[in-house]
Structure 1
Amino acid sequence: MFQVRTDLALETKEKFEEDNVELKGVRIHEEERGENIKITEVIIETENGAKSMGKPRGSYITIEAQEMTDGDDGYHREISEELAKVLRGMIPVNREELSVLVVGLGNREITPDALGPRVADNMMITRHVIREFGKYALGAEHSNLISSIVPGVMAQTGMESLEIIRGVIRETEPDCIVAVDALAARSVKRLNRTIQITNTGINPGSGVGNHRHGLNRESVGIPVIAIGVPTVVDAATIVNDAISGYYEEVDCTLNSFFVTPKDIDESIKRLSFTISEGLNLAFEKTACTNS
């Protein structure tokens, strides 16, 4: 049987609704914010809900903006501000000075998979400055220690991303991780127009069905917040949607093909700035709390 592939909890929930299947242990909350920005939170509360959804228990928040691919800097600033608000509310550590490791997952040589590395490139890194010159070096009474790493992919390093990240954690002892990666969507209308933030961590490579060891609290011992943007759609998903009225299932060989928009280069460049700006805004505050 053909399975629709998506990394978005929102789309998984929608699929159950389309099939008129009651899903217990899962709550959803929607609200409009700003101009043409919609925020939806899917909360998986029980193990039965997690099993049905095929995702760990936790909170999955999506920021949808149909104009996210446009070049309006003011609009992107609004999205960055909303992302910052979500992040501040999701960070489970309450300290005046927070140490955060930003992990840019993906392969910078492949444009649809380069979101994580590009975000890390655009981050305002502070850990080395504060360690060298003290907490007042940035002109604030309290400053968060921000560091980043781009672990690459196994084909480039011969190592699992998790192995590299664990080594960095042992040496730098961050309070939490924010991991950024490209995802896969079910609907083409959500490509490069949706940001998912979750407190459940992430499986590097999951967007293209290349599942690696999970990067989550259980595997690294500290909280992991994952940020993802769907940049590809499984080709089989598109074909299945197009011919669903005529055939029951699609040739499974299509599952090895992925489709991405033709303007993906510009979209990744713009989205990486939007997400990094949201991260910078979230961590520029004197304290990060989950209030």
Structure 2
Amino acid sequence: MTIVWSGLALGAVYVLVAIGYNIVFVSANTFNFAHAQLMMVGTFVAYTGLVTLKLPVLVVALLAGVVVTILAGLEELVAIRPVADHQNQLVTTLGVATLLNGATQLIWGTEPLTVPFAGAGEPFTLLGGRTYPVELALLVAAVVLVVVLSRLSRSTSTGLALLAISEDREAAVLRGVDARRLAFAAFAFSGAVAGVTALLVGPKTFAVATLGAALALKGFVALAIGGFGSLPGALVGGLTVGLVESFTALYAGAQYSNVAVFAVLIVILMVRPAGLFGSVKERVV
């Protein structure tokens, strides 16, 4: 059971990345390759606030949220808004990811930095397995975020407007929806979520300059398994990736983890090309 808790916690990190991908994908119909790097920056800000400046946890959470929100908003203004073609936006967001990777190495270096967890640090036994408080916190945060955001998307005017944009952007604009403003708000909100949750991700993954690349790949796989645009799919996909990765590392070796994850992805896409919770749109030609 210990390996199950570890896999679920690792999967919860991928869920948090996939949630950020989904928020932007629904609102702007594009894929933000730099989202994992934004979360990586959040872990470094958390380290700086908690270890270097020794600030209270709530202040650090606010600081990380604000910093990453500003970066995400700037990304939308610079890398998304001036570029009309969605394929070119993939390139510009990848460029932003590269810049963030380089900037973090220049500012904080390449050595892994330990981000302390605000709660208890000692492991405890739960349902027959050993786990850490931060792992349980990650799992709870991922589930709560999916439930809350799914509820908000169906019960608020902003959520319904975002769903309308994802279904038919042109029709939504004709109905008076300000797609550009909502796209900017979605980028900023995804940045805020990445910054605040980085306080939970950092203690699990450490703050390291290679974190963004690792999370980007596994977050994308989680999203592909669950289905683009589906928050429950992001949850199931992320936890699946975490469990497969952990069990493969245990029984076959860590070098085969990526192979097993992509094998599962291929099998699922062969059966469900749109992902477990995705839907295929039909178009009359």
Question: Is the structural similarity TM-score above 0.5?
Answer: no
TM-score normalised to structure 2 length? 0.27
- Name the structure where strand makes up a greater proportion of residues: 1
- Name the structure where helix makes up a greater proportion of residues: 2
TM-score normalised to structure 1 length? 0.27
Q: Which has the higher contact order (CA 8 A, sep 6+)?
A: 2
